[in-house]
Structure 1
Amino acid sequence: MKIPRHFFIGCLIFIFLGWSSFSVNALAISIPDEKKLGKQFMEMIREQRVILHDPIARQMINTVGRNIQSVLPTQPFDYSFFLINDDNFNAFATPAANIFIHRGLIDALDNIDEFAGIMAHEIAHAASRHVSESIDRAKLVSFGTIAGMLAGILIGNSGGGDAAKALTMGSMAAGQSSMLAYTRENETEADEKAILFLKQVGYNPKGLLSGLTKLRESDYRGVEGIPDYFKTHPGTGKRIIHIAGILTDYTPDKDKKPTPDTFDFEMVKYRLMGLYGDLTKSFNNVENKLEKEPENPALHYGIGLLYARKNQRDLAIFHLQKALSIKIFDPMILVELGRIYIHQGRYEKALDLLQGITEDPVLEILAKYYMAIAQIESGNLISAEKNLKQVLALEEEAYPRAYYHLANIMSQEKNQAMSHYYLGIYYDETRKLKNASHHLKKAVETLNNPEIKKDAEKRLTDILKSIKKKKYS
């Protein structure tokens, strides 16, 4: 998935113009102001639907993030970690300690220490309030830059195409470094703090060094071949030399236990590649690696997911079963086997597999979701409804399609009012606002339950405001 350039341009304009009315001190914007900006910025991010809510990947990101955060002194912000569904290598901290990791970053790294190194670096930026400093510096960007960016968007909206792109890119080139980039001093401070955090938690700080070195040497796409990460994190070559110097004599503390991980980094990496990566590129990548490592269960897992996307389900099952023969009873593999059995119409076999997944709470919820789908197809609507409601009660954000399946159940039970209600929520969650408003209007007209009707009315009001705002923005 490639995130539209105009979205980031809009974010840049928002950051600049949104802060013109706030008071700031000499070093950084105030904490209350940054919290306010962080909230508004997150609204923009969520509106674009670019956050990937894969429950297993999110568990890994949150676990690593919380582990590192645990060694920080008291912080003014609640740290939040998000995965962006984009295949570029990037990671960045935004206002109020909202930290974003691109899917492509996980694809590019090889182990949990490298991933933790990048996470620790971004957390160090947030803890040092480098984000607020960069926003404060953005006030110095000329109005010509802003005008160019606005003109680019205006021409783009009028169908100007190449001219709009030229204006926009010209404006971004002039002001990008002062609006987004950290200073070299910021980078040095973040690297040094990251190394301290990693040592305290139990990750190997050499992961930060190997991750940066690997990424610098690789041929990642980007403007003039530069990975997105390095555009906002300057001086990478000197950073690598500096980090290498710090870690020359590093040896792990023998008395410190390594951080326990409740996941396998390779399995998460190839899950993301298998489910969300570019199909052709990811398939070729995993297939080539599998030729060199034919007994690697993570590679069999990944290529199994890719075969499933190609509707070659027998091959998908073959590779997942191969992975399972190496990682016996692994619930990540069992869940995906169950999902593919459902696609084959083998509902009882799917249910037999999925019902036994109870030890890992994240995977148990995912299993319940797939169980509900199998139960709908088998005609067991009561159990399906119960499972879907449990899933939504525990992880609503990760399972918007659960509302679609509930609507299907209500439709089969001839409860059209509730079917419209659930469809309205589903389309609202997926930001198909016209469809959402249509179904919620129908729900409001026909619902008898006063509490549910009140909720439908509130949702409808919010949606109509959003539609109106988009129309005149």
Structure 2
Amino acid sequence: MRLLSHVLAFIAMAVLLVQPAAAQSVLRDAETEAFLNDISNPLVEAAGLAPGNVEIVLINDPSINAFVAGGQAVYIHSGLIDAADTANEVQGVIAHELGHITGGHIVRIGEGYRKAQGFSLLSMIAGIGAALAGAGDAAMGLMMAGQSAALSSILAFTRTQEASADAAGAEYLSKAGISGRGSLTFFGKLLNQEVRRGYSQNEEAGFWRTHPLSGDRINNLRETYEKDPAWDRPNDPAIEARFQRIKAKLAGYVDKPENTLRDYPEEDQSTPALVARAYAYHKQARMDLALEAADKLIERAPSDPYFLELKGQVLLESGRPGDALDPLRKATQYSRSQPLIASLLGHALIATEDKDNYEEAERVLRAAVARDRYNPFAWYQLGVVYAARGDIPRARLASAEQQVMNRQYALAMRSAQAAEAGLPVGSPDWLRAQDIGMQARALIEQECEARGDRSCGRRR
């Protein structure tokens, strides 16, 4: 029994080592998404991809990381934005991740796992044989050696992919006319972090690496970057100014208010500092100070939609939805009806509880989801206004849209069926209800199969 418990422990450890990290929450902000798209589009084009088909997604995670996970999406942790000093550093990371996409590394990672599984399976068979022969210690040694070989095989495969992505990223930066200085600077930060934390730079010392050593990456790329014509090209000051705003907004949103106010003290009257403090004061329910900061920003740039959005958000979330309408209407206008900002306006219109505002709310929210279907908040608000206006079938349809995006597949299927029953047969909304119902059912069955329960999908 003791041997069996050790075997199970090793199996569990191996599974944990190859499973992807649990999904973190996605941070959606109109200004941040516009900025990330703007700095990545030249790189996307240099990679031979269509900018509209590549998503840059911000994840609420304080660790310094970025990854691709299938399709054409680059996921960036909030900790990476916080650690970067310039937009050029972030561009270096994005270029590297695009190298993973164009190299098909997510698809090919299965090759590495299959090879590793071969090592693991052979060692497990040999270990079981030794255990049956009464050699418990030898059995454990064989299984440990096999697991070590399997892990080494996986990591060697991923290191090769990382080196390939580095080379591709350097090529895309060059084609886009963007300096690689930021890429080297950021790798230097990672190297310094490793040294401070006492990580060994010697693989033989037992520090397993999923990436090439940062020092090696810097040495391999420096010669390439320094020969590139873009090496001495200065960073775009407008882009860098926008980046400082993004960093400040992110700090104000995710950090503790006391930390934000320490990093952006009152004597700092720069635009990024005002943005950061507005969010920090808002989180502390110091509405007057938050609005004072927002008003200073609007005074500097009266038609900036993101400053107007900030003021509207503070007013709305402080229980003054009527006062939030003017800045949010202007923000929607100046942003050309950006869906996330328009969704906030729709929410404010509903929150007034004035029925005269419901028609505008429906119009604004329908336009928002037409441009951005993957916005559960907007779908929820649209469902609220449909219900308030007595249109229950479309309220159920909006609920189904929101629920399927929130992985509430059983609820989505029931909401879609209820919507379908009340909508005109053959109408676009009726067809959409059918599509959501079938999508939700298929996803339920996939989850059931993943759990090995072939009957659970039929029981729902």
TM-score range, shorter chain: 0.7 to 0.9
CA contact (8 A) 1:300 1:320 kept: yes
Deviation (angstroms), 1:144: 6.4
Q: Which residue of 2 aligns with 1:239?
A: 217
Q: Which residue of 2 aligns with 1:269?
A: 247
Q: Which residue of 2 aligns with 1:433?
A: 409
Does 1 or 2 have the higher relative contact order (CA < 8 Å, sep 6+)?
1
Between the aligned partners of 1:465 and 1:220, the Cα distance in structure 2 is 49
**Range 405-414 or range 177-186, more displaced:** 177-186
Between the aligned partners of 1:367 and 1:170, the Cα distance in structure 2 is 56
Between the aligned partners of 1:255 and 1:214, the Cα distance in structure 2 is 21
Q: Write the deviation string for residues 377-399 of structure 1: whole angstroms up to 9, x where unpaired.
A: 332100110000011111221x2
Q: Which residue of 2 aligns with 1:384?
A: 361
Q: Which residue of 1 aligns with 2:4?
A: none
Q: Which residue of 1 aligns with 2:173?
A: 198
CA contact (8 A) 2:328 2:345 kept: yes
Structure 2 length-normalised TM: 0.73
CA RMSD of aligned residues (A): 4.3
Between the aligned partners of 1:144 and 1:255, the Cα distance in structure 2 is 49
Residue 396 of structure 1 aligns to a residue whose secondary structure is: coil
Structure 2 residue 64 is the aligned partner of structure 1 residue 86: no
Letter in 2 for 1:383: E
Residue 46 of structure 2 aligns to a residue whose secondary structure is: coil
Q: Which residue of 2 aligns with 1:28?
A: none
1:404 to 366, 373, 380: 380
CA contact (8 A) 2:88 2:183 kept: yes
Give the % identical residues: 22
Between the aligned partners of 1:457 and 1:251, the Cα distance in structure 2 is 55
Q: Which residue of 1 aligns with 2:310?
A: 336
1:372 to 346, 359, 368: 346
Deviation (angstroms), 1:113: 0.6
Q: Which residue of 2 aligns with 1:417?
A: 393
Residue 67 of structure 2 aligns to a residue whose secondary structure is: strand
Q: Write the deviation string for residues 173-203 of structure 1: whole angstroms up to 9, x where unpaired.
A: 7645543665656545544443443244233
Q: Which residue of 2 aligns with 1:139?
A: 114
- Call closer, same or farther: CA 1:460–1:239 in 2, change over 3 Å: same
Q: Which residue of 2 aligns with 1:208?
A: 183
Residue 179 of structure 2 aligns to a residue whose secondary structure is: coil
Between the aligned partners of 1:92 and 1:395, the Cα distance in structure 2 is 23
Paired residues in the alignment total: 407
Deviation (angstroms), 1:112: 0.7
- Where do 5+ consecutive residues of structure 2 fail to align? 1-11, 125-143, 202-207, 452-460
Q: Which residue of 1 aligns with 2:321?
A: 347
Structure 2 residue 74 is the aligned partner of structure 1 residue 99: yes
Deviation (angstroms), 1:411: 1.8
Deviation (angstroms), 1:352: 1.8
Greater gyration radius: 2
Residue 218 of structure 1 aligns to a residue whose secondary structure is: helix
- Call closer, same or farther: CA 1:442–1:247 in 2, change over 3 Å: closer
Deviation (angstroms), 1:126: 3.6
Letter in 2 for 1:442: A
1:149-188 matched pairs, under 5 angstroms: 175-176=150-151, 178-179=153-154, 186-188=161-163
Structure 2 residue 444 is the aligned partner of structure 1 residue 444: no
CA contact (8 A) 1:203 1:258 kept: no
Letter in 2 for 1:432: Q
Structure 2 residue 304 is the aligned partner of structure 1 residue 300: no
Residue 58 of structure 2 aligns to a residue whose secondary structure is: strand
Residue 110 of structure 1 aligns to a residue whose secondary structure is: coil
Deviation (angstroms), 1:455: 2.5
Q: Which residue of 2 aligns with 1:58?
A: 33
